[in-house]
Amino acid sequence: MGENNISLILHARPVRVPAKALRYTHTFGLGGMSLVLFLLLISTGVLMIFVYEPSPERAYESILYMQQEILFGRLIRSVHYWSANLLIAVAVLHMLRVFLTGAFHAPRQSNWIIGLCLLCLILLSGFTGYLLPWDQISYWAVTICTEMLGYMPGIGQLLQRVILGGAEIGSATVINFYALHTIVVPLLLVGLMTWHFWRVRLAGGVVVPRDPEDDPNVATDYVPFVPNLLLREIAVGLMLIAFVLLVAIFFEAPLGEPANPGVSPNPAKAPWYFLGLQELLLHFHPVFAVFVIPLVVAVAMVGVAYLSYDSDLSGNWFLTPKGRRMAIVAAGVALLLTPLWILMDEFVLGSSGWLPGAVPIISNGLLPCGALVAGVVAFYMLLKKFFSASNNETVQALFVLFVVGFTILTVTGVWFRGAGMALVWPWQI
Amino acid sequence: MADIDKSRRSFLSRILRALGGLAVLEAGWIAASFVGSRRRRPSTGEGTGVQVAGPVERFELGTVTAFREGEFYLARLKDGGFLALHRKCSHLGCTVPWIKDEQRFVCPCHASAFDINGAVLDAPAPRALDLFAVRIENGIVKVDTSKLIRRSSFDSHQVTRV
């Protein structure tokens, strides 16, 4: 019986793994870390279901009760809180790792898409969990996010009503979010994760790092899964659990004042992982900020796996030394221009937009977006010209440009936006 | 004979697939109506009808009175007209307080500002504050909080006069 169980687990994993794929800096164990965080979330989440009461009248009180009366209540909630936040960060880093080691080419194309869906579900999970404590932060963050959704042309208003279960946040919203957070999203996550892992297995494990001078016909060295990979995975998992426990012990999950629909806090911010979007909203017309730009990004993220590439380079970080140099240039450009754009918008243009007097959708939408697209195209041309690079390398550089730019938007939203969403220094918030 | 058999089989399997699809649609429809029909249950906290605000004389010219329950402000304009303004900012839904000294609504979230008519004074708010319908019966002001009226800007037809 015991042996059968072990062999079931072992069958989910390969018997032998490429020796080169074991190097920690090749994957940083980010996928496995996501799984460990997910398991932590499930185990703490299931416990909290026994205490939490999903209604506007009882939600906040039940959290207080959990914090004050239940043994280990604070610890369980804090572990859940930190695992959730960490999972979002780790899953994004995992996506970056997969992209930057070129692990999205065939036969991993469909797994790239599954991974993107998983990332969306993780964000949805974080967002639906955000409302449940029913404190001021959760109430207003969810208000802002669902209102952002309302700007989607055509279906926005309807979508907003469906998610809220009415005209505004109320008992129907709490039930909706509770059901999504505790049942629907976790089930979908388990299903997609299983598919994700199975596709990794089909592709023969993680992408194998290759030196450019390696002969592709020479087979790589294989070592047994037990103990080589298994021990490494256990070590990473245990260290991660220890880290989350330490953080949870010393930094308790926050709980603010109970939700008060009559008073908005100042500033009112979305959850940190949506602050990049909220920052976009300060610079672009809502239709562009919450619809056009995210749509373009989504299409690009999916499409990137199905472009035809000059070479089938994969396995090495940043592809080639030239790819690495180009990525550094792209990161530098984004690091310089994104803050410049934010500052210019704040202090030079103000709220009137790029063409004072014109309709907002032109002065705040079409014009800045046109400028953005022109800038990206110009950057692409310059890269092509100066590096005479393969399109693998240029696409990678554009990806880095986007990721660094969006990261700066998020950082600005988290640390540099104070009362009335004015630009401030982090210590002035 | 074999051909007939083949086409019969593919016909049957096509019917099976169609039936399967139909079953999925049906199940989806049942689930959607199950979840969707909850909305018709009147829930607490949401405006469910007409709120009596009080006699006309109670509201002085050029003042704004907050009604917490109905989630609106009753504005009595300088010319004696009434407007019931929803308290939600038209930008991202924050609650806008009335700043009496400045005679304007100022949103704490993104600094949008509105005048006593609910018209936009400062962006980023894209539209004037939403309205509830006001009627005056026998000198009593009543506000229908069951239905929000969206508007892009202020015009004098929106005002209810005595």
How many beta-carbon contacts under 8 Å exist across A and B?
79
Q: What is the 3-state secondary structure (H, E, C) of A144-184?
A: HHHHHHHCCCCCHHHHHHHHHCCCCCCHHHHHHHHHHHHHH
Q: Are residues A251 and A277 located together in one domain of the fold?
A: no
Q: Is A264 on the interface with B (CB under 8 A)?
A: yes
In angstroms, rounded to a whole number, what is the distance separating the alpha carbons of residues A275 and B60?
43
A chain contacts of residue B110, beta-carbon cutoff 8 Å: 282, 420-421
* pLDDT at residue A351, rounded to an integer: 58
Residue A2 falls within a domain, yes or no?
no
| Alpha-carbon separation of residue A158 from A131, A163, A164 (angstroms) | 20, 9, 10
Chain B hits for A148, CB-CB cut-off 8 Å, are 92
Rounded to a whole number, what is the distance in Å from the CA of A171 to chain B's nearest CA?
A: 7
Q: Nearest residue on chain A to B122, judged by CA atoms?
A: A351
Q: What angle do CA B118, A262, B39 make, to 5 degrees?
A: 90
Domain shared by A244 and A323, yes or no: no
**Residue A177 reports pLDDT greater than 70:** yes
**Model-level pTM?**
0.89
**Whether A247 and A276 share a structural domain:** no
Cα distance between residue A233 and residue A240, in whole Å: 11
Query: Chain A residues with CB inside 8 Å of B28's CB?
Result: none
Task: Give the rounded percent of residues in chain A with a pLDDT score beyond 90.
Answer: 58
A52 & A167 share domain: yes
Contact B159, B116 (CB under 8 A): no
Whether residues B108 and A56 touch (CB distance < 8 A) is answered with: no
Residue A64: per-residue pLDDT: 95
Nearest to A123 by CA among A303, A283, A277: A277
With contact defined as beta carbons under 8 Å apart, do A284 and A364 qualify? yes
A15 and A161 within one domain: yes
- How many domains, chain A? 2
Cβ distance of A265 and B43 shorter than 8 Å: no
- Residue A1 domain flag: no
Contacts of A261 in chain B (CB under 8 A): 45, 71, 95
Number of Cβ within 10 Å of residue A216's Cβ equals 7
Please give the Cα distance from B41 to B48 (Å, whole number): 11
Closest listed residue to residue A264, CA positions, set B131, B36, B111, B118: B111
CA A380, distance to chain mean position in Å, is 26
Let me know whether A248 and A300 are in one domain: no
d(CA B141, CA B13): 67
Residues 6+ apart with CB under 8 A from B116: B62, B64, B75, B77, B83, B103, B104
Domain that holds residue A248: 7-214+222-255
Distance in angstroms (rounded) separating the CA atoms of residues A81 and A76 = 9
Mark whether A280 and A243 lie in a shared domain: no
Which residues does chain B have within 8 Å of residue A283's beta carbon, measured at their own beta carbons? none
In this structure, which amino acid lies at residue A34? S
In a domain, A305, yes or no: yes
> Is any Cβ of chain B less than 8 angstroms from the Cβ of A282?
yes
A188-210 mean pLDDT: 91
Are residues A333 and A235 part of one domain?
no
Q: Is residue A263 domain-resident?
A: no
Q: Which of B99, B110, B112, B153 to mutate to test the interface with A (most CBs of A within 10 A)?
A: B110
Residues of chain B contacting A422 with CB distance shorter than 8 Å: 111
A299-346 pLDDT, tens digit per residue, is 999 999 999 888 877 888 898 889 999 999 999 999 999 999 999 888
pLDDT at position A214: 67
Which of B94, B111, B123 has the CB atom closest to A140's CB atom? B94
Tell me what pLDDT residue B1 has.
Answer: 52
Of B39, B91, B148, the CB nearest to A172: B39
CATH code at A126?
1.20.810.10
Place of tokens 């185990």: A43
Dist. CA B94–CA B107, nearest whole Å: 7
Check if the beta carbon of residue A412 is closer than 8 Å to that of residue A279.
yes
| A166 CB within 8 Å of a chain B CB | yes
Distance of residue B117 Cα from the nearest chain A Cα, in angstroms = 20
| Confidence bin at A154 (pLDDT 50/70/90) | confident
CB pair distance less than 8 Å for B108 and A265: yes
Flag whether A75 is in a domain.
Answer: yes
Residue A422 has what pLDDT?
84
Residues A179, A306 contacting (CB under 8 angstroms)? no
Q: How far is B96 from chain A (nearest CA, A)?
A: 8
Q: Given an 8 Å threshold on Cβ–Cβ distance, is A266 in contact with B93?
A: no
In a domain, A267, yes or no: no
Q: Of the candidates B43, B91, B126, which has its C-beta nearest A170's C-beta?
A: B43
Ranking A21-30, A386-395, A405-414, B64-73 by mean pLDDT, the lowest is B64-73
pLDDT greater than 90 at residue B2:
no
A143 and A43 in a common domain: yes
* Interchain CB contact of B86 with A (< 8 Å): no
Q: Which residues of B touch A267 (CB under 8 A)?
A: 108-109
Q: Per-residue confidence at A1, pLDDT binned at 50, 70, 90?
A: very low
Per-residue pLDDT tens over the stretch A95-135: 999 999 989 988 899 999 999 999 999 999 999 999 999 99
B127, B121 Cβ separation under 8 angstroms = no
Hunting for tokens 């009496």 — which residue is that? Answer: B100
Q: Which of A143-152, A219-228, A268-277 has the lowest mean pLDDT?
A: A219-228
pLDDT in tens, A346-384: 887 765 566 666 677 777 788 889 999 999 999 999 998
A104/A101 Cα distance (integer angstroms): 8
Find the mean pLDDT for residues A159-171: 86
In a shared domain, residues A238 and A158: yes
Predicted pLDDT at A418: 87
Q: Is the pLDDT of residue B19 over 90?
A: yes
Given pLDDT bands bounded at 50, 70 and 90, which one contains residue B149? confident
- Span A396-424, average pLDDT: 93
So what's the pLDDT on residue B43? 45
The one-letter amino acid code at A164 reads L
- Tell me the pLDDT tens digit for each residue of B53-83: 888 888 888 888 888 877 889 888 888 888 8
| Residue among A380, A293, A371 nearest A333 (CA) | A380
- Give the residue on A whose Cα is nearest the Cα of B113: A420
- Residue A351 inside a domain? The answer is yes
Three-state SS for B137? Answer: strand
Q: What gap in Å lies between CA B63 and CA B103, rounded to an integer? A: 9
Shared domain check, A425 and A383? yes
Spell A26-41 as b/e; 16+ CB within 10 A means b.
Answer: bbebbbbbbbbbbebb
Look at residue A262 and tell me if it is in a domain.
Answer: no
DSSP state of A243: H
Please report the residues numbered 209 through 238 in chain A whose beta carbons come closer than 8 angstroms to any beta carbon of chain B.
none
Mean pLDDT value across residues A179-187: 96
C-alpha closest to that of B71 among A130, A166, A132: A166
Between CA A322 and CA A387 the distance in angstroms is: 8
Closest by Cα among A358, A331, A347 to A283: A347
- Cβ pair A143:B126 closer than 8 A: no
Q: How confident is the model at residue A287 (pLDDT cuts 50, 70, 90)?
A: confident
DSSP A103-156: TTSTTSHHHHHHHHHHHHHHHHHHHHHHHTT-BHHHHHHHHHHHHHHHTSTTTH
Confirm or reject contact between A421 and chain B (CB < 8 A): yes
- Using a CB–CB cutoff of 8 Å, tell me whether A422 touches chain B: yes
Give me the pLDDT at residue A221, please: 84
pLDDT band at A209 (very low <50, low <70, confident <90, very high): confident
Chain A contact set for B126 (CB, 8 A): 286, 360
- Chain A residue with minimum CA distance to B48: A167
A205 in the same domain as A304: no
